[in-house]
Structure 1
């Protein structure tokens, strides 16, 4: 049995090291970053270790050599100089208005002003910040280190409220702009967050920031690689396999399917979600640990406000300009990618296009489950039971029961919420069939308002064609005319061909025919 103490939720490097928690050594990368640049920006999904990275940098710049015993940086660093460190963490507050952001900035400014005896407390936040940096440099004789964690928390909470976002930007832009005006007083600075969508207006004065979010040499700075699992968790993986009655190879494969697959740059190694990985080893069972901590509703608000076709998320093609977009409050894909719900699957070098998709099973299943209450009449407690009933009906060949249940997913949808009825119809079908597909084999594609679907169980094969304001007879005729069922006709399982029509007038399934 492993004797590791897993650092789940531990974001303070000093307490992690002093209390004996296990640490996957990232200090060689940290040393490289510190020695090869001064100003950095890093975007990573939540729960990926950004706060621990910031805390590790803080301990390093405070010269706490004893905390780095037996880590790579212990041999690399020779000087261990103590620098003044200003650590600003914007993650620990709910931002409801401009005053809440000012209050949070004041909290940190007051601590720093007291430490460095600043007499400039009656000025604007950016002026106070300027004076604190200057005084810290003058009083210690060492240039200042500035660490900003979750710079975008206020901006994310204000998605959908442009007036409030502008107020936050107008406050943060001059505040962060101080970093450029005091270049001679600053040793090192890094800002981390989930997204880059405020970059133009918030960081427009900070054109000296090195963005390492899609830099191959730093892909493993946050998160865990497959090699790090084998180097650090081999005993844990064997114990997991034994607990789950799997072979070592089967457990390793399931870990990969569930939690690997994050690619922050093309043709790079995959990164495992560290939060889910550590929880799996701690509990010795697989689970959707990342999603259990909560998925931000701003993602759904973006998708619905932009009238996004959800099926497109399974095969997005886009450019680096979009992935690095600073307009995420208007276009959902950059924010969904930067938030970790989509990742790079492949790269077309000739046309410089990225293909995106869900990184792994945990994200795909969790995200689609999360969407369901926002697009159907069922809340998050009812939804899993409805999907369970769908799957049972499909496995039992109960086609009429299946379609009666599917009808209920469209019932009572407020008309004012459906500006584009066809898109709403497509999105509900995508969610239902995607969730059903986690339990039975599902293949489908959509184009021009049409959904073709094949569901396969151990006993049955269903070939379905959906029409919008056509007829069920036309849909069934299309299955036969275009030979959709031909690949399955030699199969020993019972084959059903099903034509379905969706009515704009009733905003629901009007009729289905089974052959």
Structure 2
């Protein structure tokens, strides 16, 4: 099905090409003969259709009749959508993919879902600096462009851009229209294989920012020294001089203020792109130093701006970047503020499909629904929806390759620790997590939280039942939707491939009951891949849970041969891990994990022995025996940990238990 408006345009063009008039028949010599009747200068004129033209003319008039009927039906359909179009007047327009600037959409009369109420909400808030994080392709750039077009005096002569949109309904907003200068810059192009390459992208972005304010060069409100200063910095940016970067924005703010007599608003889009690229590229220290200086001078030492909006994908920790800013409010995807301003709501998607004459809402919902922002469920990714509206194919459009670089990097450095939970997500399960939404790059090499923080920030997982605390967010996470699930299967799981050597060796040692080899593998992982941050003995870090998850990640590949059960009650307690064999001839396993307690135990061997004793005393094998597994085929393993040291022991009288090779 095609866009009704576009189809009506196509019909009108074709009707212009077809013969005009009315096809009638006259009876001559007892036979009906076709005539075309037209009105020329007020007079009705009939033309006889010759035999040589008759077949073609009849086909064309048949086509004309069919098109007129189709146009009549589509026009009636559009009129039935009047209530929807009153609330969102551009849902029926042609869909354009890849347009990021509000003026482009208005000038080309393109499909647009009205999000201008963001401006109303933001203007009525008091935050000096608003940092808003959302996944890529969720309309951040377009929304900032809309803010700029609404506020900046450069567009004051175009109230028609907004008169039928929600922002125009608010009296305060109408007073602000075209009255506040805007300094806008995007760091989306600050990418590169090294620091120099990335900085060239930042210089180009700042150069474009200065070029957009060229009218300052002829401003009569600026003194000659001011105009020269503007020209010098702009030329320095053109020459690629990094020394002017840190002060480029605050200086421009001062000059813009002197020109307009009004402090400007700063819009900074994709603020975190250079930092994400720097982490992956290995030049983090250089880039964070440059960005910290620029942000400090722009938002801390700058008295010449009114307010600012910063957007990005991640919430970089205050200690990394914003340590001295006390005037910044952050709104992540788990916060209620602005929760429906980015992305499309379910009603907006349903209305858009109706206005585009596409009767497939349930199929679209199954594929693309699932994002949760704050208190709004059923949020859709605009990139996927617009591509579907344009192409009509239910396929994956949204692949966040930029973020995949950093996710892949974390997984490659720690190939085993989270695989079990990733597998659970891919099975459609929900995983309960405590996530620190602050991305702390200094600790990415040792903080398991980094992977989950990024998966949430980039939109690969969604957070439900959210409880926010001062230092972390507690929530239930699951894969966002069917589109993302396909990406998980094709890309994220493949990133664990570097850990296959560990998986295979550990499974082989487990099935052979070779505890010494299991110890060696775990030691290799902890010393080569993990830091003390992971394995520390602090009760806050709960190291038993860490090693529990590590071993689950190593054995998850056995899921075709075993039912892997974690933290299940049996007997008089709750065991850590149990492996129930699918084939009756294979052994079952019960595993218990303990961390060395120097107050109660003299060494790691005693800790491991206590783990085995707990299996016996709590009768963890009760469920297995009830399931018909003979006691002699149940292998019990005690795991003991102290820092990075590991010991694995098995029940002595079960050493003759038949081993099964993996």
Normalising by the residue count of structure 2, what TM-score does the alignment of the two structures yield? 0.56
Q: For residue 264 of structure 1, what is the aligned residue in structure 2?
A: 373
- SS of equivalent to 1:99: helix
Q: For residue 496 of structure 1, what is the aligned residue in structure 2?
A: none
Aligned residue among 192, 196, 201 for 1:95:
192
Structure 2 unaligned segments of length 5 or more: list them: 5-92, 217-226, 500-523, 530-546, 568-574, 591-620, 635-647, 649-658
Q: 1:259 to 1:186 in 2, by over 3 A?
A: same
Q: Write out per-residue CA displacement over residues 28-87 of structure 1, whole angstroms, 9 at most, x where no aligned residue.
A: 122211232331101111111111111111211224333224111123232323433222
Moved more, 197-206 or 344-353: 344-353
What is the CA-CA distance between 1:480 and the residue it aligns to? 6.6
Q: For residue 124 of structure 2, what is the aligned residue in structure 1?
A: 35
What is the CA-CA distance between 1:194 and the residue it aligns to? 0.9
Q: 1:36 to 1:348 in 2, by over 3 A?
A: closer
| Residue 370 of structure 1 pairs with residue 485 of structure 2 | no
Q: For residue 480 of structure 2, what is the aligned residue in structure 1?
A: 359
Q: Write out per-residue CA displacement over residues 391-450 of structure 1, whole angstroms, 9 at most, x where no aligned residue.
A: xxxxxxxxxxxxxxxxxxxxxxxxx999689989955875897xx9xxxxx996556896
What is the CA-CA distance between 1:334 and the residue it aligns to? 1.2
Moved more, 422-431 or 269-278: 422-431
- SS of equivalent to 2:184: strand
- SS of equivalent to 2:393: coil
Q: For residue 140 of structure 1, what is the aligned residue in structure 2?
A: 260
The structure having more radius of gyration, on CA atoms, is 2
Aligned CA-pair RMSD: 4.1
Q: Which residues in structure 2 correspond to 1:65-464 (within 5 Å)?
A: 65-76=159-170, 77-79=173-175, 80-113=177-210, 115=214, 116=216, 117=227, 118=230, 119-120=232-233, 121=236, 123-160=243-280, 164-181=283-300, 184-213=303-332, 214-236=334-356, 239-241=358-360, 251-252=361-362, 254-265=363-374, 267-291=375-399, 296-306=404-414, 307-313=416-422, 314=425, 315-319=430-434, 322-327=436-441, 329=444, 330=447, 331-347=450-466, 353-376=474-497, 427=553, 464=582
- SS of equivalent to 1:40: strand
Residues 43, 196 of structure 1: 8 Å contact kept: yes
Cα distance in structure 2, aligned partners of 1:157 and 1:219: 27
Q: 1:474 to 1:111 in 2, by over 3 A?
A: closer
Q: 1:195 to 1:349 in 2, by over 3 A?
A: closer
Q: Write out per-residue CA displacement over residues 155-187 of structure 1, whole angstroms, 9 at most, x where no aligned residue.
A: 11233566x112111001121112334554212
Cα distance in structure 2, aligned partners of 1:69 and 1:55: 17
Q: 1:27 to 1:112 in 2, by over 3 A?
A: closer
Cα distance in structure 2, aligned partners of 1:472 and 1:21: 64
Cα distance in structure 2, aligned partners of 1:474 and 1:113: 69
Q: 1:110 to 1:324 in 2, by over 3 A?
A: closer
What is the CA-CA distance between 1:105 and the residue it aligns to? 3.0
- SS of equivalent to 1:102: helix
Q: For residue 614 of structure 2, what is the aligned residue in structure 1?
A: none
- SS of equivalent to 1:353: strand
- SS of equivalent to 1:148: strand
Q: 1:353 to 1:340 in 2, by over 3 A?
A: same
Q: Write out per-residue CA displacement over residues 131-165 of structure 1, whole angstroms, 9 at most, x where no aligned residue.
A: 22211211222211211111111211233566x11
Cα distance in structure 2, aligned partners of 1:305 and 1:335: 15
Q: For residue 26 of structure 2, what is the aligned residue in structure 1?
A: none
What is the CA-CA distance between 1:352 and the residue it aligns to? 7.2
What is the CA-CA distance between 1:218 and the residue it aligns to? 0.8
Residues 340, 373 of structure 2: 8 Å contact kept: no
Cα distance in structure 2, aligned partners of 1:74 and 1:465: 69
Residues 353, 359 of structure 2: 8 Å contact kept: no
Q: Write out per-residue CA displacement over residues 345-380 of structure 1, whole angstroms, 9 at most, x where no aligned residue.
A: 2236899731222121221231132134333489xx
Residues 184, 209 of structure 2: 8 Å contact kept: no
- SS of equivalent to 2:308: strand
Cα distance in structure 2, aligned partners of 1:311 and 1:484: 27
Q: 1:355 to 1:184 in 2, by over 3 A?
A: same
Residues 152, 198 of structure 1: 8 Å contact kept: no
Q: 1:465 to 1:44 in 2, by over 3 A?
A: farther
Q: For residue 387 of structure 1, what is the aligned residue in structure 2?
A: none
What is the CA-CA distance between 1:226 and the residue it aligns to? 0.9
- SS of equivalent to 2:251: helix
Cα distance in structure 2, aligned partners of 1:194 and 1:443: 38
Cα distance in structure 2, aligned partners of 1:180 and 1:78: 27
Q: 1:429 to 1:367 in 2, by over 3 A?
A: farther
Residues 376, 428 of structure 1: 8 Å contact kept: no
- SS of equivalent to 1:287: coil
Q: For residue 483 of structure 1, what is the aligned residue in structure 2?
A: 627
Cα distance in structure 1, aligned partners of 2:498 and 2:475: 35
- SS of equivalent to 1:211: strand
Cα distance in structure 2, aligned partners of 1:177 and 1:484: 67
Q: For residue 76 of structure 2, what is the aligned residue in structure 1?
A: none
Residues 318, 353 of structure 1: 8 Å contact kept: yes
Residues 311, 446 of structure 1: 8 Å contact kept: no
Residues 421, 431 of structure 2: 8 Å contact kept: yes
Q: 1:198 to 1:151 in 2, by over 3 A?
A: farther
Q: For residue 586 of structure 2, what is the aligned residue in structure 1?
A: 472
